[in-house]
């Protein structure tokens, strides 16, 4: 019975450790440079949300209606369509 408790404690610590590593990548080795860029060299994409259906997509792929609304496709940009 005691081993079960120890095992559960170890499992908990393991998952907590993994979660902490996932939330803060690269905290052990601080990389120099003012900002972190992806491997492709492009700046990270800002994600926006479609006002009609709630789909998340990169801003450069989204459509705007001139009133600050962002949409995933032309159908969702049309006011009349459902």
Residues in the site for Zn ion, rule: CB under 5 A? 50, 52-53, 55, 72, 76
Q: Which helix (H) or strand (E) holds 7?
A: helix 2-23
Nearest residue to 47 (alpha-carbon basis) of 37, 61, 31: 61
Q: How far is the CB of 52 from Zn ion (least distance, A)?
A: 4
Residue closer to Zn ion (CB basis): 48 or 72: 72
Beta partners for residue 49, in sequence order: 56
Q: How far is the CB of 44 from Zn ion (least distance, A)?
A: 22
Residue closer to Zn ion (CB basis): 19 or 61: 61
Tell the burial category of 55 from Cβ atoms under 10 Å away from its Cβ (0-12, 13-18, 19+).
middle
Residue closer to Zn ion (CB basis): 19 or 56: 56
């Amino acid at each position: 019975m005691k081993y079960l408790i120890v095992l559960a404690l170890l499992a908990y610590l393991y998952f907590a450790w993994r979660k902490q590593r996932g939330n803060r990548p690269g905290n052990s080795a601080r990389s120099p440079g003012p900002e972190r860029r992806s491997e492709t060299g492009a700046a990270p994409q800002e994600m926006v949300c479609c006002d009609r259906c709630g789909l998340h997509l990169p801003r450069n792929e989204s459509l705007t209606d001139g009133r600050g609304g962002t949409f995933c496709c032309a159908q969702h940009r049309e006011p009349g369509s459902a």
